[in-house]
Structures are given as C-alpha cells and as structure tokens.
Amino acid sequence: MTEPPLPSEQNAGAARLLGPNEVRDLAERFGVSPTKKLGQNFVIDPNTVRKIVRLAGVEAGDRVIEIGPGLGSLTLGLTEAGADVTAIEIDRRLAVELLNTARQMQPEVFAGAAAPRLRVIHTDALELSAEMLGAAPAPPEVLVANLPYNVSVPILMHLLELVPGLRRGLVMVQAEVGYRIAAGPGSKEYGAPSAKAAWYGEWRIAGTVSRRIFWPVPGVDSVLVGYERFAEPRGDEGERGRTFELVNAAFAQRRKMLRQALQPVLGPLDVAVETIEAAGVAPTARAEQLRIDEFLAIARVHLGRSGVR
C-alpha cells in the first residue's frame, strides 16, 4: 500500500519554512551528508515544526535556545513565531550558513530588526559555557530543540545546570529516552535521568513524532518531552551535587538495597544505614522507589554530618 505524501507536500502555506526539497537542496549546496556521529536527522515537515513551536508555547519576544539547528528547519519555525533565538551548532558549515538561510527564507522577519533575531554559536553543546552565552542581551528562558539522539540526556542535564533561567522547554528525543526522562518512581522506565530531571521541574510527554518527518529516516521513534521549571530550586549547588552522586550510586546497582548501593558515597554499612534512616527513608528500599526529594533528604543528612557543603 502506498503511503500518503507528507503534509508539507500538500501545504502551500509552508513556503516560509523548509520542506523536503529545500532541506535536500541546502544539504547538497553546503556539501552536508547527515552523520550518525553528530546525530543529524533533519526535520523536513513544516507542519511538524509549527506543532512543536505551538506545543512549546513560543510567543513573540521569547528568548529561545535551540540545540543542533542543523539546516534551520526548527529555527525558522521559532523566528516565524517571533522568538529571539540563540542556536548552538557543532557543525561549522551549518553554523556559518544558518543566518543566511534564515534571511533568505524569511526576509520580512529579519529586515530592519532593531536587534539580532538569530544568534549562532559554533560549539559542541556539551562544551557550551556561560561566557559563550554572556554576549546576549538577556539569557535564554525557553529551550526548544531536536536534540541529537546519541547525547540527548547529557546535553539536557548540562543545559539545565548551566542556564538556571530556563523556565520551560520542549525537546524532541528518541522515544525510549523521552519516556525515561518523564518517568516517575516505581515505573520500569524510571532511572537516573528521571530522578535528575525531576530536580529541576515537572516533566511530561507532550506528543509523538512520525519517523517520516526526518531525513534521513531514523531507525527509532521520537517523542516530544515538555517541562516547566520550579519557581524555586530544590536546594543549593552543594546539595544538588551530593544528591546526584547518590542517584548515580543507587542506579548503578539498582537491584541492590540502598544500604548497599549507597556505600560508595555514604561509607561503611552501619554509617549508610544510620544516614538513610535519619533521612526518613527505608535502607531496604531500592533506587527505583525513591523520589528525588528522598534522595535530597539523604544528601542533606550526609552533608550535615560530614560538615561539607
């Protein structure tokens, strides 16, 4: 049975965004062949781009950070909505050409703008620093990105720590990873990424994405994961660091009880048991049963007893 054409192939109103032909033409012009190493799967459907922008709640004047803009498919959706975008691109060729593509595709958006609507930083997202972002008039407040599948969780954790002003976001990731990020205690998907993500805010699965909207077509399904950051942080940086140490230790030996799994951080068995109990947590519990605030409670007891912050 022949599959129907992509929605963008029927959508005459998608000229301001990149469709399949434009994506392939740009890739050929720039000499770009998508690579698994860089996690490059380019979005070719304008309708999906607009869906992502809508679900992310992007409005005119929002300061958005985008990771891995590639040829600019999602970038153009964000600027079309009136956002000011800081794009982080690891591929030098794409970083150089992105602003030119935006100006050509959306001249009415960029012509006569009082301030740059699009800023491109050429770097690995995992090496992005506060200094690199510091030249912007104001820090980003919204994250919207099609994250490279091979490093999506490390990038997400790095950004959440680096940019405390990110108040909400929507990311497209591999389905398995997305469900793991949004999972709660007690579910089979719950793991270290789930617990660490919960430190920062509330997470949800916001939608699914067809493989057919990518070029090349990936071998995995994708989901959209949204989050809202807490108005107040759960704890200070010292507490976050120790809590994440506990999370890592607990899930590294998730089949073991906490009294055994947490010894690398808490110390000998008797000390570990005493610390865990003082936090109001059962030493016989296992990692997948604990909420992030319970890991934090253990961290606070341990930090208080060690006298280190």
Query: For residue 128, what are the CA distances in angstroms to 144, 218, 278?
Result: 16, 26, 39
Instruction: Give me the long-range contacts of 36-39 (CB less than 8 A, separation at least 24).
Output: 36/150, 37/150, 38/90, 38/91, 38/148, 39/68, 39/147, 39/148, 39/149, 39/150, 39/151, 39/152
Asked if residue 293 belongs to a known ligand binding site, the reply is: no
169 is in an annotated binding site: no
On whether 146 is known to bind a ligand per the annotation, the reply is yes
Cα(262)–Cα(273) distance, integer angstroms? 9
Cα dihedral 62/65/69/72 (nearest 10): 20
Ligand-binding annotation for 223, yes or no, is: no
Instruction: For residue 64, say whether it is annotated as part of any ligand binding site.
Output: no
41 is in an annotated binding site: yes
What is the pairing mode between strands 42-43 and 214-215? antiparallel
**Known binding-site positions:** 41, 43, 68, 89, 124, 146
**Known binding-site positions for S-adenosyl-L-methionine:** 41, 43, 68, 89, 124, 146
